[in-house]
């Protein structure tokens, strides 16, 4: 259960500044190989089973409250996300000592202009992640030396996952006493409150 921010609470500049900073660090993460927020753990839960895996944050759009990751459409997590779109995304950036705990709903796209553009922007090396003959997670007798490109070059297996956030919690360990806050989205509005760390 997450706490409900008090809608009557007055504007808190430090709370707003902390939220802005956390979004800024998240938004910078896709272009910053040194950022721990670029490689968060994305957790799912379905039918009484939980699972979690590291994924690369490819894009962040604060105005749309979302972040984007890529995956193979045949991966086990995709079927899980279709059935149960709620995800938790958790990352820690060591240089700034900032932890983010984000929650939202995932949607998966395999066709359309945005997916085509994302695929076009991938390097040849990046595309190899989508070129296995068998689906990811298939038991095999030996590790594959390298993926074998099918005729379509892997495009048919490429999926863009958009996670629209509605809960954004940050924990700043860099300040004395630490600072923790949670922001809950209602439409386009985010309401935040400090939490005891
Ligand atoms: C550094 C790192 C980055 C990764 N990035 C991705 C990614 O962007 N997308 C992805 O589907 N899997 C990524 N993986 C692999 C996943 O963690 C996971 O092993 C794989 O996707 C299978 O997960 P699943 O069985 O839940 O589908 C990455 C793993 C590591 C270690």
What tens-digit pLDDT sequence spans the chain (197 residues)? 566 665 556 679 999 999 999 999 999 999 999 999 999 999 999 999 999 999 999 999 999 999 999 999 999 999 999 999 999 999 999 999 999 999 999 999 999 999 999 999 999 999 999 999 899 999 999 887 667 666 678 999 999 999 999 999 999 999 999 999 999 999 999 999 999 99
- Cα separation, 149 vs 127, in Å, equals 9
- State in Å: Cα 157 to ligand 1 middle: 14
Residue 39 beta carbon below 6 angstroms from any ligand 1 atom: yes
Q: What structural domains and CATH numbers belong to the chain?
A: 13-195 (2.30.110.10)
Q: Tell the residue nearest (CA) to atom 18 of ligand 1.
A: 53
Contacts of residue 195, defined as CB under 8 A and 6 or more positions apart, other chains included, come to 3, 169, 180, 181, 182
Q: Is residue 80 a contact partner of residue 177, using CB atoms and an 8 Å limit?
A: no
Measured in degrees and rounded to the nearest 5, phi and psi for residue 47 equal 50, 45
- Is this model's pTM higher than 0.75 or not? yes
Helices (H), 48-136: 76-83, 113-121, 124-127
């Amino acid at each position: 259960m997450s706490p409900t921010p008090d809608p009557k609470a007055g504007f808190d500049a430090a709370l707003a500044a902390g939220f802005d900073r956390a979004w800024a660090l998240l938004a910078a993460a896709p272009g910053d190989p040194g950022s721990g927020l670029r490689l968060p753990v994305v957790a799912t839960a379905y039918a009484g089973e939980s699972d979690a895996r590291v994924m690369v944050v490819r894009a962040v759009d604060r105005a749309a409250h979302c972040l984007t990751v890529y995956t193979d459409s045949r991966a086990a997590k995709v079927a899980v996300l279709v059935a149960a779109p709620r995800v938790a995304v958790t990352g820690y950036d060591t240089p700034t000592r900032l932890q983010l705990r984000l929650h939202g709903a995932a949607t998966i796209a395999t066709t359309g202009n945005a997916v085509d553009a994302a695929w076009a922007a991938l390097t040849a090396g990046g595309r190899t992640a989508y070129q296995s003959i068998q689906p990811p997670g298939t038991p095999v007798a030996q590790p594959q030396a390298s993926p074998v490109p099918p005729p379509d070059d892997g495009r048919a297996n490429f999926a863009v996952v958009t996670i629209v956030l509605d809960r954004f919690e940050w924990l700043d360990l860099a300040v004395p006493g630490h600072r923790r806050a949670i922001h809950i989205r209602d439409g386009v509005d985010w309401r935040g409150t400090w939490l005891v760390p």
